[in-house]
Each structure stands twice: as structure tokens, then as C-alpha cells.
Amino acid sequence: MQVGIVNAGNIGLSLAIAWIRCGHDIMLSKDTHPEQLRERVRKFGLDHGMSDVELTRFKYGSITDAAKFGDVVIISAYFPRLAQVLKELHSSGVTLSGKVVIDTMNPLNVDANFNHYHDLEYMERTSTTEEIQRAFPAAILFKAFNMTPATLLDAQKWTSRRVPAIIFIGGNSSSTDTARKLIEDAGFRPQFAGYDLTDSRLLERLGILLHRLAENEYQGDGNIVFDIMRLKE
């Protein structure tokens, strides 16, 4: 598959490494300081055991280039810049028509002291997935990968019997297999929770619970994930 990653931060890069190793064609982009992206990718890749040959397989472009390149487009923008990213894509003539688009974001805003917090007012009325759908009504939207910290989106860190599930929501009957395959190719267990995009709000609200668990049970360590247990076979 051709996959364009709009804003290759830690989540986007973690997924890109897994997917490039599975043979997917990946274009990376960054909405701020794009001139630093190649060096950041090189350092991130080497830290994750990539070879120089593997690193050369990545393509680079603007966020518009990535959105136009991908049959599948990953939108992983910094939430305070989401509106600007969507506006830039629109102004560049991007429609995302017929493309599978996976939103990995949570509505984490930032205050004047650069402390991040869940934007509860925003979460009362919408979700990032619904906002993208309104901006690009012809796109096939999914919510996925938002509940696993970027540091844990490396399947090699997990034993084969303990790889966590990735819950995904949205799309349609002809597109769920695409999202499922990308989750599997990233090394995780896909768990489909239905087509209703308004339910993406439920996934975003789980982020609040994760933070409460981190604060109260795990001494502030945010490297925790929800798991879906299965009966012993």
C-alpha cells in the first residue's frame, strides 16, 4: 500500500517503521520544521534498529504531498495545530476523496505554561475524527492507534502472547480490511468497534481514564495501555 503520513511525529514514525518493513510504500511529512525531518527520521530509525538501506526507502514531502500520495493517509497532527493542518490541506486542493484516512489523535490542548490537558469542552461536542470528516466528507475515516503511547507502538517490545489490541472505529464494509491489515502489519491485534464515527469520542475519553490510571496507580508513568483479554484457547 501507499501510505502518506501527515505529520510524522513519534506515533507516525513508529508506525512507519513497522510498515516499511512489511513492504508498504511510505511518504513522511511534517507540518512544522520540515527541514529537520530527515535527520529526525534517521536518528529515530537507528534507535529502533533500522539499517541505512531501510531508511533510504522512505519518501519525503510536504503534508499536501503526503495526503495526495497515500491510498491510505494517516493524520497525526499536534492537536493545537489540527485546524491549521486541515486548512492547509484544503487550500492546496486536497480532497481525500475515496481515501482511507486514519486519525490517531487525542484532543490534548496546551496551556500558557506548555502543560497538556484534555480539552473537555471540545470533547463534549465532537472528536478529532469527526472534525476531519466534516472537513473532508468524501474521505473514509477511521479512528485508531490513539490509545497506545508512541513509546509502546513498537511490537518488538511485546512478547507474542501479550501484544495489545488496537481498537478501531469507522470506515465502511469495504474498507475495514484495509485498516485491519495495517494494524496487523504494525504488529498488533485489531479489534473493530463499529462504523459509527461518533463513537470515536469514546476512544478519546478513554485517554482521560488512562491518565487517571497513570497518576493514581502507576506513579505518573504514562506507558500503560488497555488490553482486551481473550479466553484461553
The residue ranges of DSSP E strands in 127-224, in sequence order, are 140-143, 165-170, 189-192
pLDDT at residue 229, rounded to an integer:
78
What does the pLDDT look like over 8-44, one tens digit per residue? Answer: 999 999 999 999 999 999 999 999 999 999 999 999 9
Sketch out the chain's domains with CATH numbers. Answer: 2-216 (3.40.50.720)
* Mean of per-residue pLDDT scores for the chain: 94
Pairwise pLDDT comparison (158 vs 86), residue with the higher score: 86
pLDDT at residue 233, rounded to an integer:
62
SS (H, E, C) 60-114: ECCHHHHHHHCCEEEECCCHHHHHHHHHHHHHCCCCCCCCEEEECCCCEEECCCC
pLDDT at residue 156, rounded to an integer:
86
